[in-house]
Chains A and B, each alone.
Chain A
Amino acid sequence: MEKKKIIFKINGVEKTVEVEPNKTLLWLIREVLKLKGTKKACERGDCGLCTVLLNGEPVKSCLVLAVEVDGSEIVTVEGLSRDGELTPIQKAFIEHGALQCGFCTPAFVIVGHWLLNRNPNPSREEVVEALNGVLCRCTGYRPIIEAILDVAKKRK
């Protein structure tokens, strides 16, 4: 298979990579860039654990081809904190105990960031709707929702 050269930004850093067209964005992130915060699970769009921001919008990276992101900007969970300081959402997850095994946490944090960026004061229903595509099999949805609502409240 012929490799394609793609240029993109990930967490603010420009990268040039050659990839085969049958590789996914998820594979690019985990296996080439070695950013393991983004999780691989169902690989068929069901669980949402591979969610990253592509040009500012959340996408399930197992359903995006790596070659599709040529010229794009990607943010993964590793790209959220600044100068080693956790973001308010990350802190709120800790305060609210919004994780058990933690496997789903990066995806929820990413979606939480996206939601509060476009809607700084979401209702509970809006939070639930935004999170609908991410599964937590330890079933701790309530503290996750609370954590995100709490960040919004404190910002006001």
Chain B
Amino acid sequence: MLPKIEYSCPQTLEELFEILEKYKEQAKVLAGGTDLLVSLRDRIEKARHIVDIKKIKELEKLEYREGEGLVIGATVTLRKILESRVVKERYPVLWEAVRTIGDMILKNRATLVGNICNASPAADSAPALLILEAKVRILSREGFREVPIENFFTGVKKTILKPWEIVKEVFVPEPPRNHFGRYLKMMRVMSEDLSVVGVAGLGYREGGDVKIRLAYSSVAPTPLRIREAEEAFLKPGTIEEKIERAVQIAAEKVSPISDVRGSAEYRLHLVKVLTRRLLKQIVEVV
């Protein structure tokens, strides 16, 4: 059973912010509800007032502009993203990450913005958004601010959002030309689960050099981009040496824990195996 709550479903941003200002910490935004309703039921989250944002037109945008990038509004479902040809063709690593989240029925409700606002270390869209250098667009009555997603997560289930703010949309800039990107997600079962470890990577050529970006889920309190591992590719050496150096640095920078999905040791092992596997695939293509 869910605890006692009040519910409102504003039609406009003004109404929404009025409610958020009134209830502050006691209000929770409801998008797809696939995290929120479970956490309320388990008494992990507390809320007096639930504000449903699904009727607000300004949050529905899924739009790509050539040369600029992609805007994903707060109420855009994972299913819409998966069905978007532009996302599949221009942002394949994001598309692949979204595909791994839950199942088809869940994707009809769950949103990408909800995935990052929930701020689980296992959030599958986060590593892809990190390497695509997405910006989180935050709105409140006080105004608008845009934050690199790298600065958005502050801890397990924690973000920089104030209780009276919402994420309006995520902006994903145009990725590097001719990049190749993938998300490798290791699960306990073949079908549906959170990741034991997830790795998103992309590579591209600049001048004659291969440039790499790498980010992880389920290896630290927040989804994590590891720039030091990326920089291994800027130093001299053969491709094999660079890959091994990146693998070692990634393994040093993660801080995995043991839980029901795997031990810290196993996670560390997976970080090495998956990073190596992914980097080999990337350097073969770019």
B contact residues around A133 at 8 Å (CB): 102-106, 192
When the two chains form their complex, are residues A22 and B33 in contact, meaning their CB atoms are under 8 A apart?
A: no
A43 interface contact, C-beta 8 A: yes
Indicate the size class of the contact surface on chain A.
20 to 34
B7 interface contact, C-beta 8 A: yes
A143 interface contact, C-beta 8 A: no
Nearest B-chain residue to A66, judged by Cβ: B7
For the complex, give the distance between the alpha carbons of A20 and B42 in Å.
Answer: 19
Q: A44-B41, A58-B108 are in contact. Are A1 and B34 (CB under 8 A)?
A: no
For the complex, give the distance between the alpha carbons of A132 and B97 in Å.
Answer: 17
Q: A44-B41, A63-B37, A65-B37 are in contact. Are A22 and B4 (CB under 8 A)?
A: yes
B contact residues around A58 at 8 Å (CB): 104-105, 108
A64 interface contact, C-beta 8 A: yes
Q: How many residues of B contact A (CB 8 A)?
A: 28
Nearest A-chain residue to B107, judged by Cβ: A133
Contacting B at CB under 8 A, from A1-46, are 1-2, 4, 20-24, 43-45
When the two chains form their complex, are residues B38 and A44 in contact, meaning their CB atoms are under 8 A apart?
A: yes
When the two chains form their complex, are residues B5 and A129 in contact, meaning their CB atoms are under 8 A apart?
A: no
| Interchain CB contact (< 8 A) of B109 among A63, A129, A132 | A63
B contact residues around A4 at 8 Å (CB): 7
B contact residues around A134 at 8 Å (CB): 105
User: B96-120 CB contact bits vs A (8 Å, 1 = yes)?
Assistant: 0000001111101100000000000
B3 interface contact, C-beta 8 A: yes
Q: A43-B41, A44-B38 are in contact. Are A68 and B52 (CB under 8 A)?
A: yes
Nearest A-chain residue to B102, judged by Cβ: A133
B1 interface contact, C-beta 8 A: yes
| Interchain CB contact (< 8 A) of B4 among A1, A24, A59 | A1
Nearest A-chain residue to B190, judged by Cβ: A132
When the two chains form their complex, are residues B191 and A57 in contact, meaning their CB atoms are under 8 A apart?
A: no
B contact residues around A129 at 8 Å (CB): 104
Nearest A-chain residue to B37, judged by Cβ: A63
For the complex, give the distance between the alpha carbons of A134 and B103 in Å.
Answer: 9
When the two chains form their complex, are residues A22 and B1 in contact, meaning their CB atoms are under 8 A apart?
A: yes
A contact residues around B102 at 8 Å (CB): 45, 133
B260 interface contact, C-beta 8 A: no
User: B64-107 CB contact bits vs A (8 Å, 1 = yes)?
Assistant: 00000000000000000000000000000000000000111110
Nearest A-chain residue to B99, judged by Cβ: A129
When the two chains form their complex, are residues B5 and A45 in contact, meaning their CB atoms are under 8 A apart?
A: no
Least CB distance, A32 to chain B, in whole angstroms: 15
When the two chains form their complex, are residues B104 and A130 in contact, meaning their CB atoms are under 8 A apart?
A: yes
| Interchain CB contact (< 8 A) of B7 among A21, A44, A62, A64 | A21
Closest 10 CB pairs of A and B: A133-B103, A21-B7, A133-B105, A22-B2, A132-B103, A58-B105, A57-B108, A67-B7, A44-B38, A22-B5
Write 6 A-B pairs (CB below 8 A) sorted by A numbering.
A43-B41, A44-B38, A65-B30, A111-B104, A111-B105, A133-B104
B contact set with A: CB distance below 8 Å: 1-7, 9, 30, 32-34, 37-38, 41-42, 50, 52, 54, 102-106, 108-109, 191-192
Known: A68-B33, A111-B104. 11 other contacts (CB 8 A): A21-B6, A43-B41, A45-B106, A58-B104, A65-B30, A65-B33, A68-B54, A70-B9, A129-B104, A132-B103, A134-B105
